[in-house]
Structure 1
């Protein structure tokens, strides 16, 4: 029964922030350019080749558009030893990027290593922006023009050190990024929207009246009394909250199966219209299959979640013992949801609902910076690598948070990950970063293997 609460990742519904990889041979100014693109001095810069050795990802935004910039070590196609390992990291960045920036030192001109890099980039069939760096004034622009001969199109002259041309370059990057919808959605102003849902006769109307301080809706011991509730604007803890409307669902459905069918429709409508759902459970009765279905609707809709156990005034010591067991067994997949024990009849602990709602919404809108996220995933994998399957283990190459409301993550890997390992990553994400009150979506994008030429 609890399997319904398992989150699934789907490549078709989760969209990663576009990735821009900055590559080039050593000491051409890649990290300086990265600092210009992200608008802050974060990448380590030193006038010594080879300071950057790994792929390092940074969040960037330009004209309201989010993207990820990946700084790489010096890329030399024929490198050996440690330089070869650094070059391999750059090649991984290229394979996972949407747009590639090749940086060339305009004062030096195109070297044999640059020309070899161009040949490799031609085969990627990805958008490549040729940047001629260290063009500090108009007199040096002729040095950039020579790079037309590389066959990558127009070379864009910039001075990463002084910022010359960086704004134009950001515009060009934005034009080359794939067209993607906003990952975060439109965040509306006004009172936060709350769905108060649960199976019939669990006390939803009684709790709404208690929260409002007046009789807003009809309360009856007959299940299903509420048919067409209206939006209720309620002040909780000095803040206005809108408890959402579930009206407009009285239309006939040919294959309806009684009141439970319409209750499910009302629940779905309320959840879809809300940002956070309060799922009300009857603390005096066992957690039912219908309770599980309501919880699943909230999780699958990607809404923030608070669980409220109503009728706590009817819970004695024996019931409390069994309820603890039920929670461990039936709600083990959603231990991340805040739980509040309330009584709509007596008003017990209803003041705790507003803080729980704020906590859940904060988790729903939480974002981890890409650099911090990749440092975290690297340490996690070093401490507990993926199990070896078929003689080797898939590697996690890169991780990014694709969006919020709810938090969505994308793992770029060298192969598919075991489902239990993905669940391990999610569990550790919650342990280390919180995300209290929100479902999490994790998508795995495995790098396609290069096909070997067939023998004839």
Structure 2
């Protein structure tokens, strides 16, 4: 089956699993997934960050977000864990609130309920640790939380998990099932970059109106702002994000919250437009943001903004910085713009389309293996320890981003793997897209037909 843009475009609904520490959230997540993914330990606080998992039930796909224990009056690290849980709720389509039926309702549970009500998200109450019929009465007491019927479940033994999932699906928006070109709606573009690099100014420029608050103070934008914008006759859904701080762990308060939401915007996008201040030297922060987009598997356009503030000397220095510091992102589309004056902003649309085309490129298996055969013959892998691994067969596992699996007779050197990736780009393009190459080395012993 050929993977197209339509395959990856529909937004998958998100379910956030929240609750106090040690009520069994991660155990329930593993039960829903049908595999042991989330780390589980019989002490509170094992899960700290939001962790995303792909899940499905009765043919419906959704994303499950496991969160750390939610303590409303927490301080220090516990407060950050709570912020992560609040973020998960803010970005979810539905919330699965897990309580411990053996403990009963606590003040913390009631405090969490108040926060959930303010979120206005649909909430399903899961009374966990109902391991037998005798615990049903304890679960029934959870009606007093005011969230409707408590769904009795034993995450450990699986009791009631099917009924719980049926109820969860009823809360989720229906995923588009058509296969036409409009399945996913407009392509999703995230504007990313460090604070005060001009993201909101660019959005306002291409929208032709004041869609985002702009101020010289760094960090004006906190929440991602979604806007439908037409660029070159094509409508896109632009996500203007808060500036990514140096490190999420170093941010505090709303900055920390904003950094997390920005990461969510990257994960939700198909292509990232990374803005870099052309008038200033490229920083480690810029490189970290670009790496973040690459590791998230998103198409990438690098826009050097504030070009109107550069002179000939600065432009010469920038060329050297691109050759030295941005060499690993040589595959990304690059444009020089000025959001303030509108200079070359019209080049953004073609650059986005070029990046998306590279991101969704699929190479026929026969064509790929003909190329790999020529490559191996002309440039065989070096002999290591008396052995010379060779590429036997290759296939493209998926597009968006292009991901290749090479079946080999032994492990390949990292340098040779990078060489293959570079030659793949030279042969097939993939402009504006990361390319992932995975190696499957054949086991010489215990091999089965």
Partner secondary structure for residue 336 of structure 1: coil
C-alpha displacement of 1:391: 1.2
C-alpha displacement of 1:262: 3.9
Mind listing any 5+ residue stretches in structure 2 that lack a counterpart? 1-176
Answer yes or no: is the 8 Å Cα contact 1:200–1:263 preserved in 2: no
Q: Describe the superposition over 1:385-409 as per-residue Cα deviations: whole angstroms up to 9, x where unpaired.
A: 0000011210111000000010000
Q: Describe the superposition over 1:89-117 as per-residue Cα deviations: whole angstroms up to 9, x where unpaired.
A: xxxxxxxxxxxxxxxxxxxxxxxxxxxxx
C-alpha displacement of 1:292: 1.1
Match of 1:388 in 2: 383
2:352 equivalent among 354, 357, 370: 357
Answer yes or no: is the 8 Å Cα contact 1:230–1:246 preserved in 2: yes
Answer yes or no: is the 8 Å Cα contact 1:403–1:409 preserved in 2: yes
Match of 1:308 in 2: 303
Distance 2:420 2:314 in 1: 35
Answer yes or no: is the 8 Å Cα contact 1:198–1:267 preserved in 2: no
1:208 equivalent among 199, 203, 217: 203
Partner secondary structure for residue 286 of structure 2: helix
Distance 2:343 2:249 in 1: 43
CA-based RMSD of the aligned residues comes to 2.3
C-alpha displacement of 1:329: 1.0
Residue 336 (1) aligns with residue 331 (2): yes
Match of 1:317 in 2: 312
Partner secondary structure for residue 224 of structure 1: coil
What does residue range 262-301 of structure 1 map to in structure 2 within 5 Å? 262-301=257-296
Residue 197 (1) aligns with residue 228 (2): no
Partner secondary structure for residue 217 of structure 1: coil
Match of 2:421 in 1: 426
Answer yes or no: is the 8 Å Cα contact 2:224–2:262 preserved in 1: no
Distance 1:398 1:190, change over 3 A: same
TM-score normalized by structure 2? 0.56
Answer yes or no: is the 8 Å Cα contact 2:277–2:306 preserved in 1: yes
Partner secondary structure for residue 327 of structure 1: helix
C-alpha displacement of 1:257: 3.5
Distance 1:245 1:348, change over 3 A: closer
Distance 1:204 1:356, change over 3 A: same
1:403 equivalent among 398, 406, 413: 398
Distance 1:306 1:254 in 2: 27
C-alpha displacement of 1:228: 2.5
> Max radius of gyration: which structure?
1
Answer yes or no: is the 8 Å Cα contact 1:217–1:229 preserved in 2: no
Distance 2:399 2:178 in 1: 11
Q: Describe the superposition over 1:395-430 as per-residue Cα deviations: whole angstroms up to 9, x where unpaired.
A: 111000000010000000010000000000000000
Q: Describe the superposition over 1:232-262 as per-residue Cα deviations: whole angstroms up to 9, x where unpaired.
A: 0000001100013659x9xxx9985466544
TM-score normalized by structure 1? 0.55
Distance 2:323 2:241 in 1: 31
How many aligned residue pairs are there?
264
Q: Describe the superposition over 1:136-168 as per-residue Cα deviations: whole angstroms up to 9, x where unpaired.
A: xxxxxxxxxxxxxxxxxxxxxxxxxxxxxxxxx
Mind listing any 5+ residue stretches in structure 1 that lack a counterpart? 1-184
Residue 413 (1) aligns with residue 441 (2): no
Residue 220 (1) aligns with residue 215 (2): yes
Distance 1:246 1:312, change over 3 A: closer
1:231 equivalent among 216, 226, 232: 226
Distance 1:309 1:263 in 2: 23
Distance 1:255 1:392, change over 3 A: closer
